[in-house]
Chains A and B, each alone.
Chain A
Amino acid sequence: QTVVTQEPSFSVSPGGTVTLTCGLSSGSVSTSYYPSWFQQTPGQAPRTLIYNTNIRSSGVPDRFSASILGNKAALTITGAQADDESDYYCVLYMGSGIRAFGGGTKLTVL
């Protein structure tokens, strides 16, 4: 069974740029997987940042952008701020109505 992969953790300095990735244990991510990205802070519901590869959700600052980078989906945060410190999840459409989340990336801003 194909697994969706994410970096377990990442660190970025305030004002810096970081790229988180979302891949497959077997194969390449493409726009056909409709990759989407979500931000979640402890005790809160997930918040959609990006859906369908690169469409920014309403109210999401343009510091957040996404694309396909090589064989993975990628979320880039530019000008990182303290309140970007969160868990970030991606989800892929695996076909036949099935979705699969990655394990999430814990982003630290320090």
Chain B
Amino acid sequence: EVQLLESGGGLVQPGGSLRLSCAASGFTFSSYAMSWVRQAPGKGLEWVSAIGTGGDTYSADSVKGRFTISRDNSKNTLYLQMNDLRAEDTAIYYCAKHPVAGNFDYWGQGTLVTVSS
């Protein structure tokens, strides 16, 4: 059974940093691309970043230069390093697994990030 478990969320001041983790199990982690998707309170889903099996990375313009996605295949873990956080980054952050080609087939339960002074 595929399981994705996010952690690392919390309250951080504007301008601060946070690192999210997503522990994966139930599939061969290294063989699949992964993404982070967020949802601000009362809003829709927003794709944040993706990482391919070869380590290639892609990010939305809204986080480019501030957020970095990475993976450790030896630990079956996906990361999102978030720097220079802003109030508008407040959201639930979900990790999502991609199928062999295309968009997301499995989701984690999410971790809440709140950026506030």
Chain A positions near chain B (C-beta within 8 angstroms) = 34-36, 38, 40, 45-48, 51-52, 55, 57, 87, 89, 91-93, 96-104
Contacts and interface: CB of A to CB of B under 8 A. Distances in A.
Contacts of B107: 38, 45-48
Chain B, interface residues (CB within 8 Å), range: 20 to 34
Interface of B: 35, 37, 44-47, 50, 52, 56-58, 60, 94, 99, 101-110
B39 to A, nearest CB: 8
Contact of B56 (A93, A97, A103): A97
Given A45-B109, A46-B94, A36 B104 contact: yes
B103 A52 contact: yes
Contact of B102 (A36, A100, A101): A36
Contacts of A96: 58
Given A36-B104, A45-B110, A52-B99, A101 B47 contact: yes
Contacts of B56: 97
B37 to A, nearest CB: 8
A104 B103 contact: no
A67 to B, nearest CB: 15
